[in-house]
Every structure is written in structure tokens, then in C-alpha cells.
Amino acid sequence: MHPSAFREYVGPVYIKRSAGGTLFGLRVQAKHGNRDGGLHGGVLATLADMAMGYSCCFTRQPPLRLVTVSLSVDYAGSADEGDWIEARVDVQKVGRRMAFANCFIWCGGERIVRASGSYLVLEAPRSTA
């Protein structure tokens, strides 16, 4: 992933590429908590958006430049400090102007988030130099 100040603040976000796809993981830290001590929903939405956007971005070489157009997040659970959460993405389609993806975020073998995203493909690919 390309570095960004926001991603570094939210993370560290770990990436594991395999034949089965790319997994995006995060170890929940105290800074990720809400006022009740659980994982803040904004962190889950951010992880889903990053995972789907980057998964769509890297379907092409050079990587595409994308911006989020729509993000839908359904919360079905939570996580606590010390838990490992993992986003698994299904890229539906990457076209000339739009890209679409779905994502589940897992914690301890349980799906805690279902998300979908739509992304605008910008004109110029990002330089890899």
C-alpha cells in the first residue's frame, strides 16, 4: 500500500498476499477504542474502505488512482483491545470509470462487518517511480 499519514495513524495495517487473495489485518490497540472500551466503528469502516480501495487499485499495472464514491457498512459485532481483525475483499468489477467491491471483516472466526464500496477511477494512473 502507498503510505499515508492517516493510514499510519489508524494502523499499523498489515497486508498478506496469497493465491487466495489479499488479507488486510489490524491488531486492535487502545487508540482504536470508543468510549465504552470496544473497537470504534470508524476504525472498522476505515479498514473496510482501505482494503476494498487498495484491492481494486492493484487489479491493474500501474495501479489505478481511485476515490471512494460510496461506502456502506453493516456492523454485526465488535472487537476488543488485543484482538486481531482481518478484512477479506471480493472485487466485483473494475471498469474504465468505476470499481466495485464487497468486504467482510472477521474477528476470531466471526464476521463482525459487512461492507460494500464504489470507487471512481481517476484519469491518470499513479506513478510507480
CATH of the domain at 39: 3.10.129.10
User: What pLDDT was estimated at residue 11?
Assistant: 66
* 126 in any annotated domain: no
62: preceding bond cis by omega (within 30 degrees)? yes
Query: Given pLDDT bands bounded at 50, 70 and 90, which one contains residue 19?
Result: confident
Domain that holds residue 79: 5-121
Ranges of H-type helices in the chain: 5-10, 41-57
The model carries a pTM of 0.86
Query: How many separate domains does the chain show?
Result: 1
Contact 99, 66 (CB under 8 A): yes
Query: Is pLDDT at 112 greater than 90 in this prediction?
Result: yes
Quote the pLDDT of residue 89. Answer: 94
Query: Does 129 reside within a domain?
Result: no
Round to whole Å and give the CA distance between 63 and 121: 11
Instruction: Summarize pLDDT for 20-73 with one digit per residue, the tens.
Output: 777 899 888 767 767 777 788 788 999 999 999 999 998 998 889 999 999 999
In a domain, 56, yes or no: yes
Report if residue 36 sits inside a domain.
yes
